[in-house]
């Protein structure tokens, strides 16, 4: 009996252990499958309930747009119930027109364009300032002998065709002690190329774009930030929507902006990571020089908002100073081509979606 008992124990215990282990494994598998099914069901529900938001770009993808691409990369729009569709930049139709005519729900624009839109009766509204301060400058070659905007009298400017350029530049030159007399040619080639070839003597550039590009191409520039020479600080670029969209789809815009804020706040403190996300999310071939993107992002990340301030917020001062200046110059016209000297500037922006 003792030997028989030992035999049964030697066989039975291992078999029992195997049965127990297999049972536990099968139970875990059933639980895991159940969890996966629930997760898939939840994900399917989110996808089915996504609201499409169409965003019109103002240019090809760049570091002004990084927060949007970060939020897209991280799935934050989907978490907010948004299916973001980024509409590529078109030379034939502006993002402002796309937004005001309902072909896009949101877009990227500038203070100058927003003022001009209101003047011709096709208003859009700035719902966030992408950069807290203006980062544009007048640029000349470092070896040009031009040391101050006063020296731009009699020089040739490379224009992009906007009506406000001449009065703005004249004011800058006069503020520096010059007369404000210069020649202007509308460029059909790259700004830096025009400077290098001496087709022009100075240009109006963005420090985080052409300024970084010049460094990468070995072009030495001397720059004069416009807000250092009598031009009131203002926002550019801006996120915009239409008055109708704001009225009809306020909840959607709140959710869109919640994810967008999250993207830009991340980009403020994660320069390299956010630049990589931009490169990954943008259409293939958007950035032939990834190092340029990294350097441009380093420049802009600290400039999305002032320290201690939430990204996107806009102040009344910025919406009254520069816009009133360009209105006073007569460079803003209505749909009939007549100069407009006053607008309801407070209607041109809102912070309601940043709360």
**Axis-axis angle for helices 290-301, 271-281 (nearest 10):** 130
**Domain residue spans of the chain:** 1-29, 51-130+236-319+327-354, 136-228
Give mean pLDDT, residues 298-326: 98
Residue with tokens 């500037």: 345
Q: How far apart are the two ends of the chain, measured CA to CA in Å?
A: 82
Q: What is the pLDDT of residue 16?
A: 39
Fold topology of 51-130+236-319+327-354: D-Maltodextrin-Binding Protein; domain 2 (3.40.190)
What distances in angstroms separate CA 283 from CA 60, 61, 213, 287, one per listed residue? 10, 8, 20, 9
Q: Where do the H-state alpha helices sit in the chain?
A: 2-48, 66-73, 76-79, 95-100, 111-119, 165-175, 191-196, 212-216, 243-248, 250-269, 271-281, 290-301, 316-328
39 pLDDT more than 50: no
Q: Tens digits of per-residue pLDDT, 182-193? A: 999 999 999 999
Mention the CATH class of domain 136-228.
alpha beta
Measured CA to CA, the distance from residue 252 to residue 345 in angstroms comes to 25
Residue with tokens 């030992």: 6
**Is the fold of 51-130+236-319+327-354 the same as that of 136-228?**
yes
Q: What is the pLDDT of residue 145?
A: 98
Q: Tens digits of per-residue pLDDT, 331-345? A: 999 999 999 999 999
10 pLDDT more than 90: no
Measured CA to CA, the distance from residue 31 to residue 185 in angstroms comes to 71
Measured CA to CA, the distance from residue 178 to residue 156 in angstroms comes to 15
Q: Tens digits of per-residue pLDDT, 233-246? A: 999 999 999 999 99
Residue with tokens 């906007």: 162
Q: Tens digits of per-residue pLDDT, 71-123? A: 999 999 999 999 999 999 999 999 999 999 999 999 999 999 999 999 999 99
In the structure, what pLDDT confidence band is assigned to residue 48 with cuts at 50, 70 and 90? low
Residue 241 near residue 127, CB atoms below 8 Å: yes
Q: Tens digits of per-residue pLDDT, 309-319? A: 999 999 999 99
């Amino acid at each position: 009996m003792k030997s028989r008992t030992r035999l049964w124990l030697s066989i039975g215990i291992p078999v029992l252990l195997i049965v127990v282990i297999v049972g536990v494994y099968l139970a875990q598998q059933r639980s895991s499958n159940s969890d996966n099914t629930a997760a898939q069901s939840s994900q399917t529900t989110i996808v089915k309930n996504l609201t499409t938001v169409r965003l019109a770009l103002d240019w090809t993808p760049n570091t002004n747009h990084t927060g949007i691409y970060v939020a897209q990369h991280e799935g934050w729009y989907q978490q907010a119930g948004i299916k973001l569709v980024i509409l590529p930049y078109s030379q034939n139709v502006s993002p402002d027109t796309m937004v005001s005519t309902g072909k896009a729900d949101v877009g990227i624009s500038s203070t100058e364009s927003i003022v001009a839109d209101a003047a011709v009766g096709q208003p859009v509204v700035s719902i966030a300032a992408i950069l807290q301060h203006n980062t544009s400058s007048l640029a000349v070659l470092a070896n040009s002998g031009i040391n101050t905007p006063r020296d731009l009298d009699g020089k040739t400017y490379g224009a992009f065709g906007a009506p406000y350029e001449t009065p703005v530049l004249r004011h800058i030159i006069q503020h520096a002690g010059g007369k404000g007399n210069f020649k202007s040619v509308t460029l059909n080639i790259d700004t830096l190329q025009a400077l290098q070839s001496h087709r022009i003597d100075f240009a109006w550039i963005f420090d985080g774009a052409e300024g970084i590009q010049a460094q990468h191409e070995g072009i030495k520039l001397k720059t004069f930030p416009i807000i250092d020479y009598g031009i009131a600080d203002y926002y550019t670029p801006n996120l915009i929507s239409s008055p109708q969209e704001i009225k009809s789809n306020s909840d959607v815009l709140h959710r869109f902006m919640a994810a967008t804020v999250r993207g830009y706040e991340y980009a403020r403190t994660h320069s390299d990571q956010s630049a990589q996300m931009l490169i990954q999310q943008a259409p293939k071939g958007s950035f032939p020089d990834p190092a340029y993107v990294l350097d441009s992002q380093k420049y802009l990340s600290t400039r999305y908002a002032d320290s201690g301030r939430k990204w996107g917020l806009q102040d009344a001062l910025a919406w009254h100073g520069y816009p009133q200046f360009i209105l006073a110059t007569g460079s803003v016209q209505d749909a009939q081509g007549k100069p407009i000297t006053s607008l309801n500037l407070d209607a041109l922006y809102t912070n309601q979606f940043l709360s």
